Amino acid sequence: MKVLLVDDDELIRESLALTLSFEDDIEIVGEAEDGVFAVTMCDALNPDVILMDIRMPKMDGIAATGLIKKKYSNIKIMMLTTFDDKANIQQALASGADGYLLKTDETNQIADKLRVLFNGSGIIDHSLLRHFARPANPLLEKLSPREKEITELVAQGMTNKEIAAKLFLSEGTIRNKVLTIMEKLEVGNRTQLSVVFYENNT
């Protein structure tokens, strides 16, 4: 897994690079100090995952995420932020971010969370998701009971393979159902699907 680190704090970049350097399956292919460099470096480095700070000079992580996702939809973007930055997290998810890490997370958990994201599941803190919740139209009523069940399992962070095993269905069936659910709810990725689930179930 090729990872690009993007943060205007050099000490944070160095700490992350050092922590992740001990993982055999993770390669730090580059570091950028703002969103402008991050967008430019994608052309040359083609990372699998970007660990991106939200607040940066010149171009913040939200704007950079939107630009990168328009051109490289295959690149997974993990936002790096603080618990009290809820408004910016919402904007980042709307821009296409696939998940986020809090800066207070244990560093030894970062590699595992990057792997989960790389393998197709969104990473999002459920306690913070509940702070996003607001009165909303019952969007989930568009879904069948089985689709609601699958949506809840996605929101819990389960992969297609794990959901398939739990529901005794094929992984391909689950993949197709998740795509159908996302089309019905007009969301672009599993993390946005999780947000919709929690907004309509609190």
pTM across the whole model: 0.65
How confident is the model over 87-127, as pLDDT tens digits? 677 777 778 888 887 777 676 678 888 888 888 766 665 55
Q: 103 CB contacts (<8 Å, ≥6 apart)?
A: 12, 80, 81, 82
pLDDT at 168 > cutoff 80:
yes
Specify burial of residue 136 (Cβ count, 10 A radius: 0-12, 13-18, 19+). exposed
The pLDDT mean for the chain works out to 84
Round to whole Å and give the CA distance between 34 and 18: 20
pLDDT of residue 64: 94
How confident is the model over 170-183, as pLDDT tens digits? 999 999 999 999 99
Superfamily for domain range 2-123: Response regulator (3.40.50.2300)
Measure Cα distances from 179 to 99, 184, 188, 189, 190 in Å. Answer: 18, 9, 9, 9, 9
Q: Which two tokens stand for residue 165?
A: 């095993």
pLDDT at 201 > cutoff 50:
yes
pLDDT of residue 155: 85
How confident is the model over 124-142, as pLDDT tens digits? 655 555 455 444 446 677 8
Percent of the chain with pLDDT over 90: 38
Neighbours of 75 (CB within 10 A): 19
Q: Which residue has the higher pLDDT, 123 or 7?
A: 7
CA angle 65, 138, 189 (to 5 degrees): 25
Q: Which residue has the higher pLDDT, 187 or 135?
A: 187
Confidence of residue 84 (pLDDT cuts 50, 70, 90): low
Q: Where are the domains of the chain?
A: 2-123, 136-199
CATH architecture, domain 136-199 = Orthogonal Bundle (1.10)
Q: Which two tokens stand for residue 4?
A: 């690009």
